[in-house]
Structure 1
Amino acid sequence: MRRKIAAGNWKMNGTSAALAELEQLGTSLPQNAPTVIICPPAPLLFRACEAAKGIAIGAQDCHMQSSGAYTGDISAGMIADSGATYVIVGHSERRDAHEETNAMVRDKAEAAWAAGLTPILCIGEALEDREADNTLNIIGGQLAGSLPSDVSAENTVIAYEPIWAIGTGKVPTLEQIIEVHDFIRSRLIARFGEDIGNAIPLLYGGSVKPDNAATIFKAENVDGALVGGASLKASDFAPIIAALAAC
């Protein structure tokens, strides 16, 4: 059985007052809760780790180097020092706004491993790629270029986030989600073999809400979700977690 994971990416939202949502979320987890991860802004990492009960904490990005003259960046080792155990790498907002390449994302994933963190590696296509029926080519290229060779089910999580669905309210059809997740699974098996390829958790992200989560989680190769805005409030995220636990 693959791990079920509900991860929340707070992006550039939240101050110390938002940590009350972590405490509320921790008290609402069902007994059979999946792995729950919250990725707050970097200044909140230490306090989030202290406030979290039954919830893992992750960062939203890391630098590929362990230290150096990189003003404004944070290393994977610094993240681990805060008590966090996960880090998002390759999010489309980083790939786009910060021009991160597949090679940079791969280096960040390896830096995360070196620090004892589990990377949540993001891939996804833009709207023009979807409309040009080029989705699988983009996903295949990102997988090949971003994913390091020493992958295992224990050290890596993959999140598929169609860029055109992030924060827009637009959600792919269940058939479209299934097509991409099945494709990712087949590529993982082809590259790493049946045991590893079948065991790596695959998350879906892109306008996941309490009212559509249960439908999305019906897909065989969807093992959870990477959630943006709906993870900011415990009252919104808790039903998504419950839907995943019920699958």
Structure 2
Amino acid sequence: MGRKFFVGGNWKCNGTTEEVKKIVGTLNEAKVPGEDVVEVVVSPPYVFLPFVKSLLRSDFHVAAQNSWVRKGGAYTGEISAEMLVNLDIPWVILGHSERRQLLNETNEFVGDKVAYALSLGRKVIACIGETLEQREAGTTLDVVSEQTKAIADKVSNWDNVVLAYEPVWAIGTGKVASPAQAQEVHAALRKWVHDNVGAEVAASLRIIYGGSVNGGNSKELASQPDIDGFLVGGASLKPEFVDIINSATVKN
């Protein structure tokens, strides 16, 4: 059984009620492959999660952009995984580079967050990736392996994990890792999982790419054997997100 293509849309800190209605309207009208070919998940800001869930077509799902590392309580401004359970939000994005860099989330902290969300039955898009300085220093594989190890140290069942490789230097910059560069890292990550977690997990784990993916480059990236989909930032707010979803057909 092949790995089902996965396309996530991270809306980040964007949107008004009217803008959200427009984005969802475009998605609801889109002609895309069925759920047997591609899994589509969109991640609006927290305040819009129930609204988007109520409007969105039933074959697309929603994700939170973050959740707290343990049970809720006196953590002002945080959202707990228990709340996601209560609102029936199936997915959550954890370890995004913006949270690692801007909010100083460590590899170990991200690993704990992933484990806690999974323990409450949430599905996790776990993000990893290197900075430009790290790539230029030739430490890309060391960095992403360490980030993955911190997750692997806390996770025993990978069935509900999608690993998102997002080179930090390519997020929102317009720079994109070439298909060959992206494939090289994806293949190395799969080998790391094979050697350190197990062959079965390595074969089934979806490793998706993020970093200035758009309607123009998605098909070429999708054609790479170890790229199982995308986590899309800015382009997920635009009609071209539909083209990115449709790039799943190159796997067939």
Q: Give the TM-score normalised by structure 2.
A: 0.94
> CA offsets, 1:162-204, max 9 Å, x none?
0000000001122111110000000111122211111011100
Q: Quote the Cα distance in structure 1 between the aligned partners of 2:56 and 2:244.
A: 18
Q: State whether structure 2 residue 8 is matched by structure 1 residue 3.
A: no
The 8 Å contact of residues 64 and 111 in structure 1, kept in 2 or not, is answered as yes
Equivalent residue number for residue 144 of structure 2? 139
Equivalent residue number for residue 112 of structure 2? 107
Equivalent residue number for residue 71 of structure 2? 66
**Displacement of 1:83:** 2.3
**Displacement of 1:30:** 1.9
Q: Considering only aligned residues, what root-mean-square deviation do their CA atoms show, in Å?
A: 1.2
The 8 Å contact of residues 164 and 170 in structure 1, kept in 2 or not, is answered as yes
Q: Quote the Cα distance in structure 2 between the aligned partners of 1:50 and 1:29.
A: 20
| Percent identity (aligned) | 38
Q: Secondary structure at the match of 1:87?
A: strand
Q: Secondary structure at the match of 2:142?
A: helix
Q: Secondary structure at the match of 1:246?
A: helix
The 8 Å contact of residues 204 and 224 in structure 1, kept in 2 or not, is answered as yes
The 8 Å contact of residues 49 and 82 in structure 1, kept in 2 or not, is answered as no
Equivalent residue number for residue 164 of structure 1? 169
Runs of 5+ in structure 1 lacking a partner?
none
- After superposition, residues 134-213 of structure 1 pair within 5 angstroms as 134-147=139-152, 148-152=154-158, 154-213=159-218
> CA offsets, 1:187-240, max 9 Å, x none?
11112221111101110000001000001001101000000000012x110000
- 2:51 maps to amino acid: R
Q: Give the TM-score normalised by structure 1.
A: 0.96
Q: Quote the Cα distance in structure 2 between the aligned partners of 1:80 and 1:222.
A: 30
Q: Quote the Cα distance in structure 1 between the aligned partners of 2:250 and 2:220.
A: 12
Equivalent residue number for residue 223 of structure 1? 228
Q: 1:42 aligns with which of 34, 43, 46?
A: 46
**Displacement of 1:243:** 1.1
Q: Quote the Cα distance in structure 1 between the aligned partners of 2:139 and 2:49.
A: 38
Q: Quote the Cα distance in structure 1 between the aligned partners of 2:185 and 2:31.
A: 30
Q: Secondary structure at the match of 2:105?
A: coil
Q: Quote the Cα distance in structure 2 between the aligned partners of 1:20 and 1:52.
A: 11
Distance 1:31 1:160, change over 3 A: closer
The 8 Å contact of residues 33 and 246 in structure 2, kept in 1 or not, is answered as no
Q: Secondary structure at the match of 2:73?
A: coil
**Displacement of 1:48:** 1.1
The 8 Å contact of residues 10 and 229 in structure 1, kept in 2 or not, is answered as yes
- 1:150 maps to amino acid: S
Runs of 5+ in structure 2 lacking a partner?
none
After TM superposition, the structure 1 stretch with the greater mean CA deviation from structure 2, 19-28 or 67-76, is 19-28
**Displacement of 1:3:** 1.8
Q: Quote the Cα distance in structure 1 between the aligned partners of 2:90 and 2:24.
A: 16
**Displacement of 1:69:** 0.5
